[in-house]
Every structure is written in structure tokens, then in C-alpha cells.
Amino acid sequence: MLAIILGLLLAAGVVVLVALPFLREPVAADDRLDAPTEAEARRLELIEERDRALAALKELEFDHRAGTIDDEDYRTLVTPLRQAAARALRSLDAETGNRRSMSELPTEPGPPPDEGTPPTPAPVPEPYPPPDEATIPSPDE
């Protein structure tokens, strides 16, 4: 008897849960999957590219300060990374029309430091923690 009751409860629960999306919205105004539009997907890709470039710069900076990468290798590697980050930021700005992010990073790399003195790295903008909610434009802006 217990087995039958449990079986019936299982069957009822399953039917309800599987049908739940249709029970909640018998008629849906928009039944499409909540997928990003092409423009949103493109922006997401650019944001990821920006974050990747900035993370790479941050890691390079850390490894240089830790002594894992010496000054010569640092000078060789930092310029292309900064250029990649700048390109990503420019592309993102062009996509979003938002000039705010361009003030965070110089577009051209600084002059190489003198030989014999450790380079003073330009401040790398901190991508983390993420910008706070106040800086994210609301849909109404």
C-alpha cells in the first residue's frame, strides 16, 4: 500500500513539475529562449576580450614584481599587452558608445625606462572588483 501511495505521489509530482512552465504561463507574451541578441553577444565577446587583456596585464605586473619575469622580458611583453588592452577597450567603446572606459588606460605605451633602473610600470587599471552598480548605465539613460 505504501509503495502504491509513494508511486502515485511520484507520478503526480513529476507531471506537475514537467508541466509547470505551461501552468505558470498558459499564454506567453514571448516564448523565445532568453538568449543574447547578436549585438549583446558581440558586446559580451568584447567585454571578455577586455577582461582577458587586463587580466594578462595584471598577471604580468604581478610576475614582474615577484621577480619571475625580469625587466627585459617585462619590457618586451608589456607593450603588446597594453596595445591589445587598448584595442579591446576602443572596440568596446565603439560598440557601446561609452567613452568612460577610455580614460582608464593610455592609448600609447610610455617610453621605455632607462637601462639599469627598474621600470616603473604605468598604473594598470584594476578590472577587479567590477565597477559598482552606480557606473552601470541604467536602461533609462
Partner 1 sequence: MADLGRAALVVTLGLSLYALVVGGFAARDNRRRLADSARNALFCSFGSTIVASAVLATALVRRDFSFQYVAEHTNRSLPTQYALSAFWGGQEGSLLLWLLVLTGYATLSLISSRRLLRDLTAWVVPVFGGITTFFAFMLVAVSSPFNTQTAPFDGAGLTHSLRNPYMVAHPPMLYLGYVGLSVPFAFGVGAMLSGKTDERWIVATRRWTLAAWMFLGFGQLLGAHWAYTEVGWGGYYAWDPVENAALMPWLAATAFLHSVMIQERKGMLKVWNMVLVALAFELSVLGTFFTRSNVVNSIHSFAQSSIGGWFLAFVVISSLFSVGLILKRLPFLKAKTKLESPISREATFLYNNLLLVALCLAILWGVLFPIVTQLVKGQQQTIGRPYYDFFLRAFGLPLLLLMGIGPLIAWRKASARALLRTLAWPIATALACGGVLVAVGASSSLPGLLAYTFCAFVLATIVVELVRGTRVTGSLLTLISRNRRRYGGYIVHAAIVLLAIGVAGSSAYQTTADRPLKLGQSMTIDGYTLTNRGVYTSNSPQASKTGAILQVSGRYNGTIRTEFADYKIPPESAKNVSIKTDWKRAQDLYVIPDELHPKTQLIYIEVLVKPLVNFVWIAGIVFVLGSLVAMWPDAREQRRLVTRLVLARA
Which positions lie near partner 1, rule CB under 8 A? 3, 6-7, 10-11, 13-14, 17-22, 25, 28, 30-36, 40-41, 43-45, 47-48, 51-52, 55-56, 59-60, 62-63, 65-70, 72-73, 76-77, 80, 96, 127-131, 136-139
Cα 75 to Cα 61: distance, rounded to the nearest angstrom: 11
98 neighbors 137 (Cβ within 8 angstroms): yes
Q: Which is nearer to partner 1, 116 or 129 (CB)?
A: 129
Write down the least CB distance from residue 49 to partner 1, Å: 9
Cell of 35: 538568449
Write down the least CB distance from residue 114 to partner 1, Å: 19
- Give the gyration radius of the chain's Cα atoms: 26
Q: Which is nearer to partner 1, 58 or 122 (CB)?
A: 58
Write down the least CB distance from residue 99 to partner 1, Å: 15
Write down the least CB distance from residue 77 to partner 1, Å: 6
Write down the least CB distance from residue 85 to partner 1, Å: 13
Under DSSP, is residue 49 helix (H, G, I), strand (E, B) or coil? Answer: helix
Chain position carrying cell 618586451: 76
Closest CA to 84 of 54, 112, 58: 54
Q: Which is nearer to partner 1, 63 or 122 (CB)?
A: 63
10 neighbors 48 (Cβ within 8 angstroms): no
| DSSP E strand boundaries for the chain | none
Q: Which is nearer to partner 1, 66 or 117 (CB)?
A: 66
